[in-house]
Structure 1
Amino acid sequence: MEDADVKEVGLTKDVGYQFGKRKTFELSLEDAWEFMFYKKGLDIWLGTLPGGLELLQPFQTKEGIVGKLRLMKPFSHIRMAWAKQEWDNTSTLQVRLIKAKYGTTICFHQENLLDKAQRAEMKIYWDNVTQEITEVLSDHKN
């Protein structure tokens, strides 16, 4: 096999580099939605917003995440433009909730990442976010 035939991890034909992370939690779909898209969950995965997250309104978090919520389908998913303030590009982020046999799966999928370095940066970011969500939700259960 020639080098040109080797597919690079995370590189797609249509949307550049992408990364996805998912984890199932013992939480109803409704409780997962409320957690993820209201204050406590938003602070973890998006950052601190001066107001709420509003459809088609640009936002900037205290932590320097900028973007715009493009789509919100309650109890299913959201899609947004998402970038770190220092980035020259904007990615597309989808956060989806899927009812699972025992709880709800929370999925992060990010595409239009610039290169493999930015993909690696976002892998660390979403790994940390998932870990923090896990800690908060397990503290909440106890």
Structure 2
Amino acid sequence: MTPTGLTQDAGWEMGVRKTVPAPLPQVWDFLIGEGLPLWLGETALGTRRRDQYETADGTRGEIRSFHPHERIRLTWEPQDWDHDSILQITLMQVQAGTTIGFHQEHLASAAEREKMLDHWHDVADRIAAALGKRRTR
């Protein structure tokens, strides 16, 4: 039996979803604007395939695809990793607002998968809290 999170093609992978009570265009604008440091780090993010980025803490990668108001797919390699992974952020309008999905593949091990699950759950919670504060202004 295959362990949870282990795939034949993408190795170890994980996914986290969070629905926030905000319209999709507002969530998109937040994620690629003032909310960028919450999920990617302090950096500038390009919008074209192969645009590269490096955060203040040394995480680096490149854009694989960028579809406004829908999806960003990029490589993601923290400074202390010896490999990169693929991170995809998707947005979907739902009745209650917008569902943000984080999917990461090509993780090195079950332990790294668990660490990234915790990380992206925390990121999703911080994004939801920040968007909630914006609504009360």
* Both structures adopt the same fold (TM-score exceeding 0.5): yes
2:18 aligned with 1:23, yes or no?
yes
Deviations 1:21-79 (A, max 9, x none): 011111111111101111x2111000001x34342222110122110011001111011
**Identity %, equivalent residues:** 36
With structure 1 as the length reference, what TM-score do the two structures score?
0.90
Q: Alignment RMSD, CA only?
A: 1.1
Distance 2:63 2:85 in 1: 12
- The equivalent residue for 1:53 is 46
Q: Write out the 4+ residue segments of structure 1 that deviate beyond 4 Å after TM superposition.
A: none
2:88 aligned with 1:94, yes or no?
yes
Residue identity opposite 1:82 in structure 2? W
Could you list the runs of 5+ residues in structure 2 that have no partner in the other structure? none
- The equivalent residue for 2:35 is 41
Query: What pairs with 1:66-85 in structure 2 (closer than 5 Å)?
Result: 66-85=60-79
Distance 1:64 1:131 in 2: 23
One of 123, 131, 140 as aligned partner of 2:125 = 131
- The equivalent residue for 1:3 is none
Return the index of the structure with the highest Cα Rg: 1
Distance 2:29 2:79 in 1: 27
- Describe the SS at the equivalent of 1:84: coil
Distance 1:18 1:81 in 2: 14
Task: Report the alpha carbon displacement of residue 138 of structure 1 after superposing the two structures with TM.
Answer: 1.5
Residue identity opposite 1:45 in structure 2? W
- Describe the SS at the equivalent of 1:107: strand
One of 22, 32, 36 as aligned partner of 2:27 = 32
- The equivalent residue for 2:9 is 14
